[in-house]
């Protein structure tokens, strides 16, 4: 199975520790609340990454845990029964403790999933808005990559510069899936106030005299948004380019 993957380093919650046996559930709830508050603060300033990826990863991990432990709970309820001695039901103390821990874990997972829902929705709304307002056009004559490499330009309207990148598409394997990921390197930044010719003409002149590639593919991104560049515009542009190249 082939999937696309954007290179992204992120730190997130240690869910293994948060859901281990004997956990302090009140303390764990506080840790998740703090993290979700951090993500929402970032979203309210239109800083999408890495918060949206962390929220998605948390949701996927919680759903996996929920599936595993629901199966465990069903088995426990069906197989671990009290014994009847002298017409009294005797429940093993250890079994009772395990049952209580499972209930607490399932309640914690459900609580965290519900708390994360509006975070995912807000992140999705911001991402869709940026994608809808970020266009991509191929300006080179050639359509195929030279060894998976090419150029793209992307405006940083907040800092009033036009950035030109050399990108490379890399294939690798992860958990038995074949991934395409994109790696981009900034090769030039041009102040927008000194750009007098059309951007397409500027980029074509730039790659004409580039010694790195022969007949490279070149793309131009356009947007009027002045959202945070590093946390929102750039990662969404990379993701959009990767999807475009894979289509």
Q: Chunked in runs of 10, what are the mean pLDDT values of the chain (247 residues)?
A: 40 59 76 94 97 94 81 55 47 58 83 96 97 95 77 96 94 74 93 91 84 79 97 97 88
Q: Which residue has the tokens 């580039």?
A: 210
Q: What is the pLDDT of residue 164?
A: 96
The closest of 116, 83, 130 to 224, measured between CA atoms, is 130
177 and 145, same structural domain?
yes
Residues 150, 226: one domain? yes
Co-location of 91 and 165 in the same domain? no
CA proximity to 8, closest of 46, 50, 58: 50
The answer on 146 and 42 residing in a single domain is no
pLDDT score at 7: 40
Do 143 and 237 fall into the same domain? Answer: yes
Q: Does residue 109 sit in the same domain as residue 149?
A: no
Question: Which domain, by its residues, includes 43?
Answer: 2-132
* Domain shared by 142 and 40, yes or no: no
**Domain end: 114, 132, 150, which one?**
132
What's the pLDDT score for residue 247?
Answer: 76
CA distance linking residue 200 with residue 176, whole number of Å: 40
Q: Do 100 and 216 sit in the same domain of this protein? A: no
Residue ending a domain, among 109, 132, 155, is 132
Q: What is the DSSP string of 35-97?
A: HHHHHHHHHHTT--TTHHHHHHHHHHHHHHHHHHHHHHHHHHHHH---EEETTEEE--HHHHH
Helix 93-132 vs helix 25-44: crossing angle, to nearest 10: 0
Last residue of one domain, picked from the residues 99, 132, 165: 132
Question: Do 154 and 178 sit in the same domain of this protein?
Answer: yes
C-beta atoms surrounding 131 within 10 Å: 14
Clarify whether residues 95 and 165 are in a common domain.
Answer: no
List beta partners, residue 18: none
Measured distance CA(103)–CA(109) in Å, rounded = 10
Other Cβ atoms within 10 Å of 238 Cβ, number = 21
The CA–CA distances, whole Å, from 57 to 19, 53, 67, 107, 116 equal 15, 6, 16, 19, 11
Overall number of domains in the chain? 2
Q: How far, in Å, CA of 242 to CA of 169, rounded?
A: 8
Asked if 73 and 163 sit in the same domain, the reply is: no
- Examine the domain organization and report whether 90 and 149 are in the same domain: no
């Amino acid at each position: 199975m082939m999937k696309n993957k954007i290179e992204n380093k992120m730190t997130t919650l240690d869910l293994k520790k948060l859901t281990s046996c004997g956990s302090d559930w009140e303390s764990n709830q506080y840790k998740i609340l703090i993290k979700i508050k951090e993500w929402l603060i970032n979203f309210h300033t239109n800083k999408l990454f890495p918060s949206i990826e962390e929220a998605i990863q948390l949701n996927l991990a919680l759903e996996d845990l929920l599936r595993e432990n629901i199966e465990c709970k069903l088995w426990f309820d069906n197989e671990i029964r009290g014994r009847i001695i002298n017409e009294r039901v005797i429940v093993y103390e250890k079994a009772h403790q395990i049952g209580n821990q499972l209930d607490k874990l399932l309640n914690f997972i459900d609580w965290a999933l519900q708390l994360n829902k509006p975070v995912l929705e807000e992140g999705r709304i911001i991402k869709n808005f940026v994608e809808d307002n970020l266009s991509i056009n191929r300006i080179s004559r050639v359509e195929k990559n030279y060894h998976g490499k090419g150029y793209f330009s992307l405006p940083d309207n907040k800092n009033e510069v036009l950035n030109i990148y050399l990108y490379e598409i890399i294939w690798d394997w992860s958990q038995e899936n074949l991934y395409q990921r994109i790696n981009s390197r900034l090769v030039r930044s041009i102040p927008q106030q000194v750009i007098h010719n059309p951007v397409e003409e500027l980029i074509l002149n730039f790659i004409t005299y580039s010694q790195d590639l022969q007949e490279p593919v070149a793309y131009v991104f356009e947007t009027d948004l002045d959202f945070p560049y590093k946390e929102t515009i750039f990662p969404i542009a990379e993701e959009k380019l990767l999807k475009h190249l894979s289509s």
